Amino acid sequence: MRAARSPLAIPPETGYDQRMAFTLGQLRLSSNLFLSPLAGYTNLPFRLTIRQIGGARSATSTAGGACRATSAVGLCTTDLVNARSLLEKNRKALKLIETRPDDHPLAGQLYGTVPEEMRDAALALESLGVDAVDVNMGCPVRKVCLNGGGSALMSDHEKAAHLIRTMVAAVKIPVTCKMRLGWDDANITAPDLARALEDAGVAAITVHGRTRQQGFSGRVNLAGIRAVAQAVQDIPVVGNGDITAPQAAKRMFDETGCAAISIGRGAFYNPWIFQHITHYLGSGELLPEPTFDERLAVMRRHLDLMVEVFGEEHGCRKFRKVALQYSKRFGPTKEFNRRIVRLSSRAEFDDIVTAYRAWRTQFMDEHDNLKRGYEPRPLEEVSTISMPPGPNELW
C-alpha cells in the first residue's frame, strides 16, 4: 500500500489530533471529515446545522488567508449545480450555492461538459468567495449522463482531463473531482482516470465506492477505493460510501488508505456523525447517541434555518423529507410521520411534537427509555440508508 503522504500532515494546534488535519491545495483544513454533496439535501440550512454540531475548530489558507471558524466537519460541498445555469444566473442555481460567512470552508460542486462553461462557472464561484470547486463525475442520473456529464465523463479520460486542466488554469482555488469506480463492473475506470486527472492538476479526488450501474445498491467496494488511492502519486484520495457510524469511518481509513472521508446520507441520518467519528478516532471510545430531546432541539434549529432561507411555506415543505430522516432514530414514529409529511408552518411543528410526545409514552418504560424491542438498531449495524428521491434520483 502507498506510504502516507507526508506533505498532507499539519502540526497539531491546541491539542487537535494530527491524524485529522488535512490540506487541500492551498487550504489547510482542521479535519479530514467532509460533508458530501447530496442533491436536494445539502443546502445552506443543512450545512449550517452540521457545522453547529460539535466543537469549533478552524481552517486557514496556506496562502495567508484569514482564519475561518468551522465545526468537526472540515469541508462542506454545495448541492450540484449546472454550470450553464449558474452562468445564466438562473434563480434556482443561485439558490443552490447560497452561503454565509459561517458556511466555510465551502466547495461548490459543478457539473457540465463544456470546458469554457465550466471554467467560467468556476471563476464565478471563486468571485463569490467559495474555497474550492468540485467537478461532478459521478452522478448516475440518466439526464445528466445523456449530456455527457456526471458518470459519463469517466468513459472519456481525455475529455475529462481537458475539462479539469481548463478549470485549474483559470482559478486560484483548488479544483477537485468526485467520481465513481466506473460505469459498471466491466468498466472500472477510476484508477486510470485518477492518474489522468492528477496530471491535469486536480487537487484531490473523491471516490464513491460503487459503479454508475449500481446506484446505491449493494455494499461499497473498499478495495476499489484502495486501488484509486494507490494509483495516484501526490494528491489525496477521499473515500465515500456507507459511512453510517464511527466504526465504518475507521474501516474506510484502514482498508482503503484514503486521506479523508466524505459523508452524505450518513450525515442526514445522523448529523452528529462528524463529532462522533472525531472522538472515536482519537480515543477509541464511542460517544452515546443523542437523546430524544437533543434530536428535537437540532430539528428545531434546522427547521428555523429552512424557514429563514426559503420562507415559511417553502421551507416547511422542504423540511418534510428532512424530518423523516431525523425520526428514524426516534423509535416508533407512525404518528409523527403521518403528520410531519403535511407540515406547513413553524407553529404546526411544535403541535406535532407535543402530540407525538404523548403518543410515544406507550413505548416508554418507567425510566423514560424506549422499551425493549422498540429501540432503533445500533448505528454500527446500519450499513445502507434509503432516502426519498432528490432532484437527481440516485445521486
pLDDT one-digit tens code per residue, 318-367: 999 999 989 999 999 999 999 999 999 999 999 999 999 999 999 999 99
Average pLDDT over residues 9-33: 63
Is the predicted pLDDT of residue 2 greater than 90, yes or no?
no
Share of the chain above pLDDT 70, in %: 80
Percentage with pLDDT > 90 across the chain: 64
pLDDT at res. 66: 39
Name the helix (H) or strand (E) containing 294: helix 292-310
Inter-CA distances, 291 with 118, 266, 268, 272, 353, Å: 44, 18, 17, 12, 15
Question: Per-residue pLDDT for 64 more than 70?
Answer: no
Task: Please report where in the chains the cell 480515543 appears, as a residue.
Answer: 283
Q: What is the mean pLDDT of residues 78-95?
A: 94
In this structure, are strands 33-35 and 260-263 parallel, antiparallel, or unpaired? parallel
Q: Catalytic pick from 67, 76, 139, 177?
A: 139
What pLDDT is recorded for position 284?
92
The H-or-E segment that residue 76 falls in is strand 75-77
pLDDT of the residue at 259: 94
Mean pLDDT over all residues of the chain? Answer: 84
Q: How confident is the model at residue 69 (pLDDT cuts 50, 70, 90)?
A: very low
pTM of the model: 0.85
Q: For residue range 246-277, what is the model confidence (pLDDT) as tens digits?
A: 999 999 999 999 999 999 888 988 899 999 99
Residue 233 has pLDDT above 90, yes or no: yes
Name, in order, each residue with C-beta under 8 angstroms of 156's C-beta and a sequence gap of 6 or more.
Answer: 148
pLDDT of residue 388: 52
Least confident of 4-18, 175-189, 264-278, 368-382: 4-18
Active site residue 67: no
Q: Residue 216: what pLDDT?
A: 58
Residues 138, 179: Cα–Cα separation, whole Å: 4
Residues 6+ apart with CB under 8 A from 304: 346
Q: What is the pLDDT of residue 252?
A: 95
